[in-house]
Structure 1
Amino acid sequence: MNFPTIKIPITEIPLNKSVRLFIKREDLIDPEISGNKFWKLFYNINHYLERNPKNPLIITFGGAFSNHISAVSALGKNLGIKTLGIIRGEELQQKWEQNPTLKFASSNGMDFRFVSREEYRNKVSLTKKLENEFPSSLIIPDGGTNNLAVDGIQHMLSSDTKSFNYLCTAVGTGGTIAGISKFAGDDQKVLGFKVVDDNSLKTKISELSGNENFSLIEADFGGYGKINDENIRFINWFSAEFGIQLDPIYTGKMMQKVFELIDEGFFPENSRILCFHTGGLQGIEGANEMLKKQNRTVIINRNGL
């Protein structure tokens, strides 16, 4: 993987408030390997290829609509490397072709292995089996989070991000906030907006980052992968108002919570707040299919994905 050739823009969101809000468009790095997924994979794949493995194979884990599965499949296609997705939920084996994310991953050449939720939770045992079966493979954890991923996230920070008082990101597996925490300036506060109910995240992030300069804020709005009508309303309003598409699982919930905190006076006057757009737009199609089945309002997808 090479460094992006484009400069990632930082766009101000006009608020007419006592604070200033900006969004860094990491989603624009690559149309298929976008946002934090690009940087989480960056060192993982480059270190792996430096070893010149025989019969290279990338193995990773994810659920039915995983951004990580989608990104790894696209990376494998781009590099001409085989990929294998370990997919949570045996029931998907008979209907994966109806799933936009898995269908896209398959079109990129990714093979699947569907496992039960119980087996999926026991990652240590499952990973050991895969290491024995595919000894020359690169096995990347669920969500791409490991130490190399954390080091890759440093490239989301630059001289352009040093002037901000607050650095904000959505939190799933914890790798992105760990990287931001590890490489943030001493005077910067890092806020992570949890979209999952995982009480182990704080400890995990601290271990990965080596710092305690972050706070976690609940932003699951009913649970991971759950989309309520207020989420949809906010995402559609934000897109129409500011011309920026948000995804319903991560950035949409983060930005919705940030707006609530601003209205509540959480941020001191004259604060400069930077939110990272970490991609995930591929999940909109699957979300809309679910919403249509429920006869609910859909997300207006201005990116055409």
Structure 2
Amino acid sequence: MSIPEIKKKIECFPKKDLIPLPTPLQKLENLSLALGGPEIYMKRDDLTGVAFGGNKSRKLEFIIQDVLNKNADVIITWAGVQSNWCLQTAAVARKFGIKAILILFKLYDLPEEYDGNLLLDYILDADVRIREAEGGKVLKLEDVQDVIEEVQNEVKELGHTPYIAPIGGSMKGGSMEKPLGAIGYVNACAELLEQTEELGLEIDYILHASGSGGTQAGLAVGAKALREEIKVLGISVSDYKESYGEDVLAIAQDTIITLGIDIEIKKEDIIIFDEYIKEGYGILNKEVTEAIRFVAVKEGIFLDPVYTGKAMAALIDLIGKGYFNKEDRIVFFHTGGTPALFPNKNQLVNFLKS
């Protein structure tokens, strides 16, 4: 399938143009040299321009159009206290005069500080509601159904029209009847391959932090449709691959059906590394801290401690273990999230000093 053909399929789904595209693709010369392994490039989806940027902006271009099409005036969504998804949802909602209700779950008794994304949520005047939750898990709709229904009923009683947006904009459900977030990342894959074609660059791997599944599903579908030889590697930040892989595969298969693409995606096309979850979602460790500093020192680029730092720690480890060939070319997707550096400042400094 050609890039124009897949883009034509994507154009059947209306979206709001929220971000300046394409996001930059840059070679990490110093990092590649220091690691002595494959050529590493970075796709700068941290520069999407909504709030502090990140991958959720691409998803929200499609989702906010769906919200407007359904005449909703309140978005209800949920995630962890320092969620990038919730921040970007609130920012996009405000741009269109829509109220955002964010149900934020505390994980692992992490401090409920007015810092990082939580501070930004309050600056955006989002309706923030903090609840307790089981640590380290992506909270699917069925896990929070009672809470969501309670808030939804409250909104309706006040005469408003709610839109339930699933965590991460990934798995369809609530008011989102199609995998709109994943479609955003099929589009991102097409954009990336347009850039590599212009540069005369053949890439072998796309590596990224994988959380709720929509980004990985979209990239996997895009790669399968356009350049089957490219392997998409998801570094899980929360869920183990046995169950999480099924979720990503389901989103990918649903995306193929929704777009009407004549390809088949199988279990073996969904490559997930779960050994880097380590202590759990959002819990910092020394390897992640060192990866954050390493990229900052070598390239002047900041990663976050929850997603991209963990993915970079995985990339460094995989290179050290000989997973890649020296002539391989890897694109690392920077999915944003840097405000999470600040609520983790004490742990970061302690690890850096140790």
The answer on 1:137 being equivalent to 2:162 is yes
- Which residue of 1 is the match for residue 239 of structure 2? 197
Query: How many Å apart are 1:127 and its aligned residue?
Result: 3.1
Q: Which letter maps to 1:52?
A: N
Q: Report the TM-score, using the length of structure 1 for normalisation.
A: 0.86
Query: Match for residue 13 of structure 1?
Result: 28
Rounded to whole Å, the distance in 2 between the matches of 1:90 and 1:84 is 19
Does structure 1 residue 112 correspond to structure 2 residue 128?
A: yes
RMSD, aligned CA: 2.6
The alpha carbon displacement at 1:249 in A equals 0.9
Name the amino acid aligned to 2:272: L
Report the counterpart of residue 126 of structure 1 in structure 2: 147
- Alignment coverage as a number of residue pairs: 291
In structure 1, stretches of 5+ residues that fail to align are 300-305
For residue 302 of structure 1, what is the aligned residue in structure 2? none
Cα contact 2:103–2:129 (8 A) shared by 1? yes
| Aligned-partner SS, 1:291 | helix
3-state SS of paired residue (1:38): helix
Q: Structure 2 matches for 1:33-44, cutoff 5 A?
A: 34-44=53-63
Paired with 1:221 and 1:254, the residues of 2 have a C-alpha distance of 12
Matched with 2:13 is none
- Corresponding residue for 2:65? 46
1:24 corresponding residue in structure 2: 43
Q: Shift in Å at residue 114 of structure 1? A: 2.8
**1:86 corresponding residue in structure 2:** 103
Q: Give ranges in structure 2 of 5+ residues lacking alignment.
A: 1-15, 172-178, 254-264
**Does 1:168 find its partner at 2:183?**
no
Maintained 8 Å contact 1:44/1:149? yes
Give the SS at the match of 2:145. helix
Q: What SS does structure 2 have at the residue aligned with 1:246? A: coil
Change (3 A) 1:90 1:27: closer
Q: Among 291, 296, 300, which residue is 2:350 paired with? A: 296
Q: Which residue of 1 aligns with 2:315?
A: 258
Contact map agreement 2:292 2:309 (CA 8 A) in 1: yes
Alignment-derived partner of residue 303 in structure 1: none
Q: 1:90 touches 1:115 (CA, 8 Å); kept in 2?
A: no
| Identical aligned residues as a percent | 28
Distance 1:112 1:217, change over 3 A: same
**2:221 corresponding residue in structure 1:** 182
Give the Å deviation of 1:297: 4.4
- 1:34-69 residue CA offsets vs partner (Å, 9 max, x unmatched): 22110121211112112333xx01111022211112
Work out the CA distance in 2 between the residues paired with 1:257 and 1:19. 14
